[in-house]
């Protein structure tokens, strides 16, 4: 019985490892990190092959299937958590503040972030749109800074992959 449980645990650990790598690799592909993606993919598939070989050799044990499924779920969770910690790449942050646009822009600029202010018009009239392109790892600090000035502002964040040019805020 101990060997059966140990086998299911081994499958779970292997799946956690390969799915974590697979999740991280997928995000590297989106970020156009082709060499990183290739290396991660090599290890991901190698681990997966070992896991599948063991499963096929021990298919009669139902607990192995549960180990496989639990490992898959936990691997996704761990992969996303790892990627959020590493925070590779850039994001575009759009901010609409009814009353504090200039104050937010000044604070961001004094914190070495480049800000573009565009005139805009909403349902209630004229306003301004702040646009920033920043490193993902700077996002929590930028959000905290903005919300410290205007906790009611409207903020959107989206993935951004710079094509060419110079990103001022990256000089930090």
Q: Which helix (H) or strand (E) holds 88?
A: none
Q: What CATH number does residue 118 fall under?
A: 3.30.70.120
The reply to whether 100 and 72 lie within a common domain is no
The reply to whether 44 and 76 lie within a common domain is yes
Residues 6+ away with beta carbon under 8 Å from 80? 23
Instruction: Give how many domains the chain has, as a whole number.
Output: 2
pTM of the model: 0.70
Q: pLDDT tens-digit profile of 34-84?
A: 999 999 999 999 999 998 888 888 878 888 889 989 999 999 999 889 888
Q: Environment class of residue 18 by beta-carbon count within 10 Å: exposed (0-12), middle (13-18) or buried (19+)?
A: buried
The 8-class DSSP code of residue 49 comes to: H
The rounded distance, in Å, linking the Cα atoms of 23 and 20 is 5
User: Which range marks the domain in which residue 9 is found?
Assistant: 2-86
The single residue listed with the structure tokens 């094509």 is 163
The rounded distance, in Å, linking the Cα atoms of 124 and 135 is 32
The reply to whether 82 and 94 lie within a common domain is no
Among 86, 118, 140, where does a domain finish? 86
Among 43, 63, 86, where does a domain finish? 86
CA 153 to chain centre: 23
Q: pLDDT tens-digit profile of 98-147?
A: 899 999 999 999 999 999 999 998 888 889 999 999 999 999 999 999 99
């Amino acid at each position: 019985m101990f060997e059966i449980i140990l086998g299911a645990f081994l499958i779970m650990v292997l799946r956690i490892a390969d799915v974590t790598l697979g999740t991280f690799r997928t995000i590297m592909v989106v970020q156009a990190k082709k060499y990183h993606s290739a290396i991660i993919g090599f290890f991901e598939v190698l681990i997966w092959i070992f896991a599948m070989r063991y499963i096929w050799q021990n298919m009669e044990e139902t607990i192995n299937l549960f180990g496989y499924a639990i490992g898959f779920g936990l691997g996704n969770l761990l992969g996303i958590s790892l990627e959020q910690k590493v925070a590779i790449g850039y994001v575009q942050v759009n901010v609409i503040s009814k009353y504090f646009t200039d104050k937010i822009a000044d604070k961001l600029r004094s914190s070495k972030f480049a800000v573009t202010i565009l005139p805009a018009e909403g349902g209630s009239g004229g306003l301004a749109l702040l646009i920033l392109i920043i490193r993902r790892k700077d996002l929590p600090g930028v959000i905290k800074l903005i919300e410290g000035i205007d906790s009611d502002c409207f903020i959107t964040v989206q993935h951004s992959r710079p094509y060419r040019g110079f990103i001022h805020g990256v000089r930090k």
